[in-house]
C-alpha cells in the first residue's frame, strides 16, 4: 500500500474517532440540557421538588380551576385517593389526601414522582407540603395517609381550566432496613 493510502486511512480514522467522541459528548449533555429547557419553558410538567413557602394572595373568587389526580404504581402497592378531582380557586390553599399501602411481606422504601399537565401549568401549581418530596418507608403490610398541600397561583394563564397532577408510586429498595 502506498504512503498516501496510509495517510488517508489515518485521516479517516481520526475523523471517525472525533465524530464518535462528539456524539458521546452530545449524548452526555442531553440530560442537563433537557432539564434547563424544561425549567425555562415550563415543559414536561415538572413541579417543585421541595416545600415552598407561599404567602396566600388575593383569592380569585370568580375563577374556578379543576384539579384532577391520576395515580399509578409500579410494584406491589395500593395507592389511592378518596377524592380524584377538586374545584379550586386560584390563590387559596388546598389539601388532598392520598393513601399508600405496602402489599408485600417485607419492608420497602417508596418514592412518588409527580407530573403536572399541561406542562405550562407546572410553574403555577405550587406544593407547600408533599409526600413526594421524600422517600417513604413502609414496614411489611403498612399503610399510610399522605397529604399534599397546594395552591394554584392566581397568575395561571386564563386558558388553562384543568390541571392534572399525576403521581407514579414505586419501590426504591425492596431490601430496605427500617430504623
> pTM value?
0.67
Query: Do 49 and 29 belong to one domain?
Result: no
**Structural domain range at position 25:** 1-41
Least confident of 18-27, 102-111, 123-132, 144-153: 18-27
Query: Do 54 and 36 belong to one domain?
Result: no
Query: Do 20 and 53 belong to one domain?
Result: no
Q: What is the pLDDT of residues 27-38, one digit of tens each?
A: 766 666 655 555
Q: What is the pLDDT of residues 75-99, one digit of tens each?
A: 899 999 999 999 999 999 999 999 9
Query: Do 58 and 135 belong to one domain?
Result: yes
* Among 137, 124, 3, 105, residue whose Cα is nearest residue 54: 124
Residue 178 belongs to some domain of the structure: no
Residue 179 belongs to some domain of the structure: no
**DSSP states along 73-122:** EESSEEEE-S-SEEEE-TTSEEEEEEEEEE-SSS-EEEEEEEEEESGGGG
Query: Do 26 and 60 belong to one domain?
Result: no
Query: Do 60 and 33 belong to one domain?
Result: no
Query: Do 83 and 29 belong to one domain?
Result: no
Query: Do 69 and 151 belong to one domain?
Result: yes
Amino acid at each position: 500500500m502506498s504512503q498516501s493510502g496510509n495517510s488517508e486511512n489515518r485521516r479517516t480514522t481520526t475523523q471517525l474517532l472525533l465524530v464518535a467522541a462528539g456524539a458521546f459528548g452530545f449524548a452526555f449533555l442531553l440530560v442537563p440540557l433537557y432539564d434547563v429547557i424544561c425549567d425555562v419553558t415550563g415543559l414536561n410538567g415538572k413541579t417543585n421538588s421541595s416545600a415552598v413557602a407561599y404567602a396566600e394572595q388575593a383569592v380569585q373568587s370568580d375563577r374556578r380551576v379543576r384539579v384532577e389526580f391520576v395515580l399509578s404504581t409500579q410494584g406491589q402497592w395500593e395507592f389511592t385517593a378518596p377524592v380524584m378531582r377538586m374545584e379550586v380557586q386560584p390563590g387559596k390553599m388546598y389539601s388532598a389526601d392520598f393513601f399508600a399501602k405496602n402489599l408485600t411481606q417485607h419492608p420497602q422504601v417508596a418514592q412518588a414522582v409527580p407530573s403536572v399537565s399541561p406542562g405550562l401549568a407546572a410553574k403555577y401549581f405550587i406544593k407547600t407540603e408533599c409526600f413526594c418530596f421524600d422517600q417513604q418507608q413502609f414496614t411489611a403490610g403498612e399503610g399510610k395517609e399522605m397529604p399534599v398541600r397546594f395552591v394554584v397561583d392566581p397568575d395561571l394563564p386564563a386558558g388553562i381550566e384543568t390541571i392534572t397532577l399525576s403521581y407514579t408510586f414505586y419501590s426504591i429498595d425492596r431490601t430496605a432496613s427500617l430504623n
